[in-house]
Structure 1
Amino acid sequence: MGNQMTEMLKGTLEGIVLAILEARPAYGYEITAQLRDEGFTDLAEGTVYALLVRVEQRGFVDVTKVPSEKGPPRKVYTLNAAGTAQLAEFWTTWTFLSGRIEHLRADRTSTHQQTEGDD
């Protein structure tokens, strides 16, 4: 991933993970696998686990330990009411930002086309 992609992902990964958990409870590896399936192929597994620790500490998820066939119990993360509220705030912010960015891009494209037409 390029540096710009990495920096943008840092600011949005929490919301992306909360959106995954809104669909269904999951454990860390499942979340990482889904992110990779969605195209985040360079995402380090440790990044997701560190984020899960943060969202647990911030009270956005409930954690249940489920026995595993291979090794220690798995921590299954479930979005709770605080996490649902945080996700709603994320989507509101995302909608605002993406709308502003698209507006800027459209203005730039329009201005660029007008400039070319003046030649």
Structure 2
Amino acid sequence: MDTTQLLKGVLDLAVLAVLKDEDGYGYDIMRRLRSAGLDEIGDASVYGTLRRLFQAGLLTTYVVPSESGPHRKYYALNPAGRDQLLRSGKIWRSFATTMDTLLDDKGMAA
């Protein structure tokens, strides 16, 4: 199965999840997603998702100056983003449980 389509459906949730405990800048967020196992995630997809989540009012941003390069734009969950993470997490868990049940109960081992 091509995981690209699955990633499109859960990228918002994945980005919110990696920002749950620690703010991050674009490259750092991509690194965290990849180290969690989402290796196929594209740079443009992550940056587009960050812009969309910010425009939806789920993230705040701030700039941190850097002495060794350009300033970094950090993203942080705000209260609306935390609420969305909780709602989306519940939906994901319910969906994953349903899929696990379907796969286990239907004798997927041929």
TM-score exceeds 0.5? yes
- Answer with 1 or 2: which has the greater Rg: 1
Q: Determine helix, strand or coil for the equivalent of 2:57.
A: coil
- Give the paired residue count: 110
Task: Give the structure-1-normalised TM-score.
Answer: 0.85
Q: Determine helix, strand or coil for the equivalent of 1:23.
A: coil
Structure 2: give runs of 5+ residues left out of the alignment: none
Which residue among 29, 32, 35 is the counterpart of 2:30?
32
Q: CA RMSD in A?
A: 1.7
Deviation digits for residues 11-58 of structure 1 (CA, Å, limit 9, x no counterpart): 101101101101110111100011111122222111111110000000
The alignment status of 1:52 with 2:53, answered yes or no, reads no
**Corresponding position of 1:106:** 104
Structure 1: give runs of 5+ residues left out of the alignment: none
Contact 2:63 2:74 in 1 (8 A): yes
**Corresponding position of 2:11:** 13
- Structure 1 runs (4+) deviating above 6 angstroms are none
Structure that is richer in helix per residue:
1
**Corresponding position of 2:82:** 84
Task: Give the structure-2-normalised TM-score.
Answer: 0.91
Distance 2:57 2:64 in 1: 19
Letter in 2 for 1:20: V
Letter in 1 for 2:12: E
Letter in 1 for 2:106: R
Distance 1:15 1:68 in 2: 29
Q: C-alpha displacement at 1:68, in angstroms? A: 1.9
